[in-house]
Structure 1
Amino acid sequence: MGRRHPVAAEGLSLYPSGVPLGSHRIPMRESADLTLDGMAGLVADLLDVLDLDDVTLVHSDWGGGLFLTALGRGPRVARLVILPCEAFENFPPGLPGKMATLAVRIPGGVSLAARQLRIARLRRLPMLWGWMVTRPGDPRLDRRMRAWTEPVLADARIRRDLVKYAKSVLDDADLIRKTEALRGFEGDALVLWSPDNRVMPPEHGPRLAGLLPHGRYVGIRGAAVLSMLDDPEAVAREIGGFLTGSAARRK
């Protein structure tokens, strides 16, 4: 029997904020599958290795974890919390995603982009973090950005991992099909979207909630993509209420 786990947060992102896309400190093996499916498989592998069941999987920014149902790797996941993230054909997401994809194809582009994220004035640009949070120039982000970008700047192997993923081939029809496989997810789901953001289409929130048999949509007004940074109290309140209500229904 696997161990129960209330929340397993999944935070993979092209804007180095998780692993293995630029903020991880131990490089992946050179042969590692870092395609979108391979990355989703890493999430499932982690749950398997930790032997976790009844997991609440939280998605933010990176949307590959939504594909666990399509890949047949989701039995350990009992609930989904979906914050603004890639979905359907929106891979890579919006202008920032397209600029990140361009950066990995230019010699030195990854290091240049990472260094720019450390400068508050440059973070305000739409192709960097200008559309990711409502206050991209906030000096309180400086320490976080330095920590997030240090691995990719310090280790060529980390840069290799990021480039390997960002250069993987994506097919819109396949992405849509794998997202829509969420129709087969039978657990409770909360889609906690930011309808005012400019990177993850506002209509994707209700669309995802409509796919999920037990999905519920809640909008976080005034937040950008990373609503947990823009309005942490609202996000915590909604997730707490969702988990409490889901537990009560299961009794």
Structure 2
Amino acid sequence: MATVTLSAGPIDYDDTGGTGPVVVFGHGLLMNGSQWRKVIPRLDGFRCITPVLPFGAHRKPMRPDADLTQRGVARILADLFAALDLHDVTLVLNDWGGGQFVVSDGRADRVARLVLASCESYDNFPPKPARPAALLCRVPGGTALFAQLTRTTLFRRSRQAYGGLSKNRIPEQVLDDWFGPAVESAEIRHDLRKFVTGSPSKAVLDSWHDDVVRFPRPVLLLWATHDPMMPIAHARQMVGEFPDARLVEVDDSWTLIPEDQPEVFARELSKFVTTTGTTR
């Protein structure tokens, strides 16, 4: 794993290399690039980059003054594209994050395509089932308690927690890797708290969304039909708001489509990239 130092701090990333189409994968809260471990091997010929964003599973803390709101995370992604001199990027987002706000922040010049896969949209920041955890992190000592809860079977398997993200059973070793840094490091928990509690008001989110759906290049909405966290109604509405968007609904999956339906994800992503033009 390589590291690039940005204005917000160090970002670790994996890069498969090669000269094929560049795909940058975001990830969800308390996750890292292994969220895509079932998808990337199916993308022959693509250059796949998986940064570890400061959502609690990162191992190098950000600078104390780093902006880790959703807009701050979008700026981290934009800075990463520039630091690695990436062009014609296909940006893929799933679950939490806010990476789509590279558009509303005016930093999408290197993004040729956008893939939103069962992720936050409209004012669903954070998603409703996750709001109790966000409230807990606002309480003194609450983030440390939240981190300890990730060690419990109830948190890992309950439909009201991480068990509700995937219809398949995420392996324990993957969850250990995701949750370990926040359990072990107060600095990582500080970053986690900043992100979890950093969502702006509904009015701001609505304004940013209006900017995002003006993105003029191709968009793929890949959405789980029965996702309890990211409503399919959002995707069905958004597809008509973008100038150039297509919607693929995925059955037999919850939020983590790359976990539940990696073959479908890889097939639809590959088809989308290879059938849409670039802008460089």
TM-score with structure 1 setting the length: 0.89
Partner of 1:88: 122
CA positional deviation for 1:224: 0.3
CA positional deviation for 1:79: 0.4
Q: Root-mean-square deviation (CA), in Å?
A: 2.0
What is the DSSP-based 3-state SS (H/G/I as helix, E as strand, rest coil) of the residue aligned with 1:64?
coil
Counterparts of 1:127 and 1:106, CA distance in 2:
20
Contact 1:104/1:166, CA 8 A, preserved across alignment: yes
Confirm whether residue 214 of structure 1 aligns to residue 214 of structure 2. Answer: no
Q: How does 1:63-212 map to 2 (within 5 A)?
A: 63-95=97-129, 97-135=130-168, 138=169, 141-212=171-242
Partner of 2:23: 7
Match of 1:35 among 34, 57, 69: 69
CA positional deviation for 1:27: 0.3
Pick closer, same or farther for the CA change 1:216–1:22 going to 2, 3 Å: same
Counterparts of 2:24 and 2:199, CA distance in 1:
28
More helix by share: 1
Count of paired positions: 242
Partner of 2:45: none
CA positional deviation for 1:108: 4.1
Contact 2:223/2:249, CA 8 A, preserved across alignment: yes
Contact 2:125/2:199, CA 8 A, preserved across alignment: no
CA positional deviation for 1:141: 1.7
Pick closer, same or farther for the CA change 1:6–1:218 going to 2, 3 Å: same
CA positional deviation for 1:43: 0.7
Contact 2:30/2:179, CA 8 A, preserved across alignment: no
CA positional deviation for 1:121: 4.4
What is the DSSP-based 3-state SS (H/G/I as helix, E as strand, rest coil) of the residue aligned with 1:53?
coil
Q: For structure 1, list consecutive stretches of 5 or more residues without a partner in the other structure.
A: none
Counterparts of 2:110 and 2:241, CA distance in 1:
20
- Percent identity between matched residues is 36
CA positional deviation for 1:112: 3.6
- The amino acid of 1:148's aligned partner reads W
What is the DSSP-based 3-state SS (H/G/I as helix, E as strand, rest coil) of the residue aligned with 1:216?
strand
Deviations along 1:156-188, one digit per CA (max 9) or x if unpaired, are 100011112222252112112211213321211
Confirm whether residue 234 of structure 1 aligns to residue 264 of structure 2. Answer: yes
Counterparts of 2:97 and 2:178, CA distance in 1:
19
CA positional deviation for 1:73: 0.6
Pick closer, same or farther for the CA change 1:15–1:106 going to 2, 3 Å: same
Partner of 2:83: 49
Deviations along 1:104-156, one digit per CA (max 9) or x if unpaired, are 13444334433433444442223311321113xx2x52001111111111111
CA positional deviation for 1:28: 0.4
Pick closer, same or farther for the CA change 1:79–1:243 going to 2, 3 Å: same
Counterparts of 2:199 and 2:264, CA distance in 1:
36
Counterparts of 1:183 and 1:81, CA distance in 2:
12
TM-score with structure 2 setting the length: 0.80
Contact 1:120/1:142, CA 8 A, preserved across alignment: no
